[in-house]
Amino acid sequence: MWARTVRERVAKRVSQIRISYLRFMGVTIGRKCFISRKAFIDVRRGAIIIGDYVHIAPGSFVLSHAARRPNKAGQVTRIEDNVSILVNAVVLPGVKVGKNSVVGASAVVMQDVPPNVTVMGNPARVVWPRGNKPRGGE
């Protein structure tokens, strides 16, 4: 029991240090966010804005530019408030993930995600509205 508490406190502190570093590198990050130490946030080119209460799981990529293609003027990768990005998901540059959304494990987000939905797949598609349970076969 105590080992779990210690591990959770250490993970939270490591996330806080990582968030401080990302802010120093120019990423705009809101309050009470958790970014795993194994998540990749691209700070080399372009702009990334992350809202409040965002959770980014290990192995996830949030990109601000794509390979050798130049960024479009004003291109911003935006993750709004209360978003969860699950394990190994990829958010491509210039995409906006709406409030209260969930990006499923291993999803590749290539287009804007509306608010209050869950997206999954490659390319990511809306699976169901958030808050409603999925029905069998859909």
Q: Is the pLDDT of residue 136 over 60?
A: no
pLDDT of residue 31: 94
CATH of 2-66+73-129 given 1.10.150.170, 2.60.40.10, 2.40.50.100, 2.160.10.10: 2.160.10.10
Q: What confidence category does residue 106 fall into, taking pLDDT thresholds of 50, 70 and 90?
A: very high
Distance separating alpha carbons of residues 87 and 123, to the nearest angstrom? 16
Q: pLDDT tens, 29-69?
A: 999 999 998 999 988 777 899 999 999 999 999 998 877 66
Q: What confidence category does residue 131 fall into, taking pLDDT thresholds of 50, 70 and 90?
A: low
Task: Say what the pTM is.
Answer: 0.84
Q: Which residues are catalytic?
A: 65
pLDDT of residue 69: 66
Q: Is the pLDDT of residue 75 over 90?
A: no
